Amino acid sequence: MANYDNLHIFIFPFLAPGHQIPMLDMAKLLAARPNIKVSMVTTTQNLTRFRSDISGGARGLNIDLHVLDFPSEAAGLPEGTSDNFDSVDRDVCGNFLDAVMLLEAQADDLVRVHRPDAIISDLYVPWTDNIARKYGIPRVGFNVSSCFAMAVTNGVLDLLYGTGRFVEPKTERFLVPGLPDEVFVTMAQNPSRFFKNLDAMEFFMKVAEAERNTNGIIFNTFRELEPMYLDHYKRTSGKKAWALGPYLLYNKEQTDMTNRGQVSNINKNECLTWLDSQKPNSVIYVAFGSLCVFNEAQLLELGLGLEESNHPFVWALRNDNKVGPDILALEERVRGRGLIIKGWAPQAMILDHSSVGGFLTHCGWNSTLEGICFGKPMLTWPLFADQFYNEILVIERLKMAFGIGVDTGMEWGVEDELGAQVKRDQVASAVNRLMSGGDVVEEMRERAKELSKLGKAAVIKGGSSWESIDDLIGEFMDHKKKRQEKNEI
């Protein structure tokens, strides 16, 4: 094992579960190497999301927490607004991003006092670029999406802003230019479309500028999953790309799997007992991430479709999804065959169980990668952001999924106006296709198992991700030695 000379790394996650969870997993990977100290920077309310995981220090991990005061009042947020993006009302999300930008001064003071040797920053915390350049510290960006989705997004932006070509109608498929293979998308799937009501153009422009100034990008992926696109990023950007994932495979203890992100809203033993009572590969797990808010009509159609399918299911529902009397009545009717979890679900633990044979997912990258890690074929229902591009990856490239038939998603903040885009019979038919087997599904299942094995091999000593971690730490050490030689530290 390589020996590192007391390297101190500051990590700045964006304040949302889909960003915090993988960055904390990555912190564990780094702190598990000898003589590496990691400091996570977060805000007061988010401490509760980190503390149970940070107690991993008892296992010899040198991980610290530094806390910033979230400037709600200065950003014009209502009193009592959460420090976390998943709990913020849609109509003040722009103010939330303003508050994130106002954290820079506090973070600058922290870096000035502690003088870390390197900064790893979520791309959605762009002001870390200013701090890194001010103190001469190397800064590496952290992308919560797949490398494939980032490449497609950049290709579409080049088309829009480079040539000014807007494709109409929005549902017409077009070839994304400049990619290593043919990728066809529509303007209706363009990530920026779903955030047009967020009033955050200035924020995203700062994100893009900070990305251009990074030393490189870390991806939560592994080389064997998307090799062409990792090479494409390095070739087109002139920067390094480190594939260090899948991070979640670092969590060996069941408590880590159960409470990953925050404490689950269901008792671990209750959940496991229910799963143990089901036949192998008989259960479909249904979850749409921490940011999806379905309207009541769509929730009901989804629930009725699951009921109509007659297959056992576990359905994770956000607490603030509109669970009306019809959903509660459905819960009673399917009791025993369907397990509905209202709030945070132990997703990794569920997907790792042998009774789970399929995953209905929104294709957020964290969820997609978890499905890959645990070898589960997927039924895809993308909603916004990079999710349509991740869907293309798992269906057309990895061949371990098929779509429910959604061509366009939700616009941020107007979910209640959409009604039910997917009807119950469409849900039931797709679930039956996935869970009833057949040659095509069995081929998907075998492909998923193969990718799972590759992911697990990547993170052990000698694997591609293990070697990428060595390379990243070596990069930071080279910077530290150069600064020492110049008497800068």
Nearest-Å Rg of the Cα atoms of the chain is 22
Q: What is the C-alpha separation between 142 and 290, in angstroms, rounded?
A: 19
Evaluate whether 190 touches 424 at the Cβ level (below 8 Å). Answer: no
What is the SS3 assignment for 118?
Answer: strand
The tokens for 305 are: 């479709």
Q: What is residue 93's three-state secondary structure?
A: helix
How many helices (H) and strands (E) the chain has is answered by 18, 15
Q: Give the C-alpha separation, 283 to 297, whole Å.
A: 24
The distance between the two most distant Cα atoms of the chain, rounded to a whole number of Å, is 71
Instruction: Please work out, in degrees rounded to the nearest 5, the angle formed at the alpha carbon of residue 445 by the alpha carbons of 185 and 276.
Output: 125
* Spatial contact of 39 and 8, defined as CB atoms under 8 Å apart: yes
Spell out the residues 6+ positions from residue 139 whose beta carbon is closer than 8 angstroms to its own: 118, 119, 120, 121, 128, 129, 132, 133, 213, 214, 215
Strands (E), 136-201: 139-143, 174-175, 184-185
Q: Which helix (H) or strand (E) segment is 403 a member of?
A: strand 401-403
Q: Is 19 a catalytic residue?
A: yes
DSSP 8-state class, residue 407: -
Rounded CA separation 148/229 (Å)? 6
What is the number of alpha carbons within 13 Å of residue 22 lying toward its C-beta?
Answer: 28
Coil vs helix vs strand at 210: helix
Helices 227-237 & 147-158, crossing angle to 10 degrees? 50
Distance of CA 226 to the CA centre of its chain: 16
Q: Tell me whether residue 122 is one of the annotated catalytic residues.
A: yes
Q: Which of 53, 98, 122, 129 is catalytic?
A: 122
Pairing between β-strand 174-175 and β-strand 216-219 as defined by DSSP bridges: unpaired
* Residue 461 φ then ψ, to 5°: -55, 130
Rounded Cα gap, residues 376 and 196, in angstroms: 34
- Catalytic residue (choose from 8, 19, 311, 353): 19
Catalytic residues: 19, 122
